[in-house]
Amino acid sequence: MKNVNIKKQLVEIGKKIADKGLVVGPGGNISARVGNIVYMKASGISFEEAKVSDYIGVDLKTGKIVDGSKKPTCEIAMHLGCYLERKDVSAVIHTHPPIATAVGMQEITLRPFTPDLAALAGDVPTIKYVVPGGRELAEEVRNVIKKHNAILMCNHGLLTVGSSLREAYYRTLLVEDACKTFVAAKSLGEMKFFTRKQVEQINNLKAESYRKALLKKA
Ligand SMILES: [Zn+2]
């Protein structure tokens, strides 16, 4: 994929993230990898206002800027860690969705309870609160992202990864939606999670593998 195209995609997804209220103001950050270059939002710029020139390329291994002149997001280490840990990951989305953030404060692992959640996200664990923007947060995320595609961050927000921006974005929407359902179900009384067997049944469905393959396309 050409670099201009990936920056355009980042601008588009960033605007959707702002429109849907998944972050407010300059919060949150997104990135996408093309080969050994990771494109990410510059620091302090809101998704609403971000233009193509506000997305800059950094070298995956060194973190040095190779495309653009602005300062990268302060969560650069968190983004690069996801790509270094998972070769299959080409996009990382970090947002502050209100309901997912509320569920994150319960410090639970949100297990699948709908077919979509089972097929597209799987278990969503929570990492403990650490000060944003540093090595510690990057290490916490890197440890958990090894085995998961979405992470709730206690007192902070949500992080999802995907093999394309679309896939990471749908995972963000899906988890926030699931958290709304979780809160509603809890307030009514009963919460029913899938058993391991039920999750397996979903993952063996042909229709689900077809849908998953579609999302992987950029
Ligand atoms: Zn954040």
Confidence of residue 19 (pLDDT cuts 50, 70, 90): very high
User: How far apart, in whole angstroms, are the C-alpha atoms of residue 149 and residue 216?
Assistant: 13
**147-165 as b/e: b if 16+ CB within 10 A:** ebbbbbbbebbbbbbbbbb
Of the candidates 64, 70, 18, 63, the residue with the CA atom closest to the CA atom of residue 44: 70
Tell how far the Cα of 94 is from the centroid of ligand 1, in angstroms.
Answer: 6
Q: What percent of the chain has pLDDT over 70?
A: 97
Kindly give the distance from the C-alpha atom of residue 170 to the centroid of ligand 1, in angstroms, as a whole number.
18
CA atoms within 13 A on the CB side of 172: 32
Burial class (CB in 10 A: 0-12, 13-18, 19+), 85: middle
DSSP strand pairing (150-153 vs 126-127): parallel
Q: For the sheet with 150-153, list strands across it.
A: 65-67, 55-59, 37-41, 29-34, 91-95, 157-162, 150-153, 126-127
At residue 207, the pLDDT reads 72
- Between the alpha carbon of residue 81 and those of residues 12, 97, 116, 184, the distances in Å are 24, 22, 27, 34
Domain count, the chain: 1
Q: Is the pTM of this model over 0.75?
A: yes
CA of 14 to the centre of ligand 1 (A): 14
Q: Of 48, 75, 140, 167, which residue is the catalytic one?
A: 75
CA–centroid distance, residue 25 to ligand 1 (Å) = 11
> In the predicted model, what is the mean pLDDT of residues 133-156?
96
Q: pLDDT for 60-107, tens place per residue?
A: 999 999 999 899 989 999 999 999 999 999 999 999 999 999 999 999
What's the CATH number where 95 sits? 3.40.225.10
Q: Is 49 a catalytic residue?
A: no
74, two tokens: 């302060």
- Antiparallel, parallel or unpaired: β 150-153 and 157-162: antiparallel
CA of 208 to the centre of ligand 1 (A): 31
Structure confidence at residue 3 as a pLDDT band (50, 70, 90): confident
State in Å: Cα 48 to ligand 1 middle.
Answer: 16
Å from CA of 152 to ligand 1 middle: 11
Write down the pLDDT at residue 62: 95
Continuous segment of H or E residues that includes residue 150: strand 150-153
Q: The domain containing residue 154 runs over which residues? A: 3-216
pLDDT of the residue at 217: 66
Q: Where are the alpha helices (DSSP H) in 20-134?
A: 76-85, 98-104, 115-120
pLDDT per position as a tens digit, 177-199: 999 999 999 999 999 999 999 99
d(CA 129, ligand 1 centre) in Å: 11
Binned at pLDDT 50, 70 and 90, residue 216 comes out as confident
pLDDT at 1 over 60: no
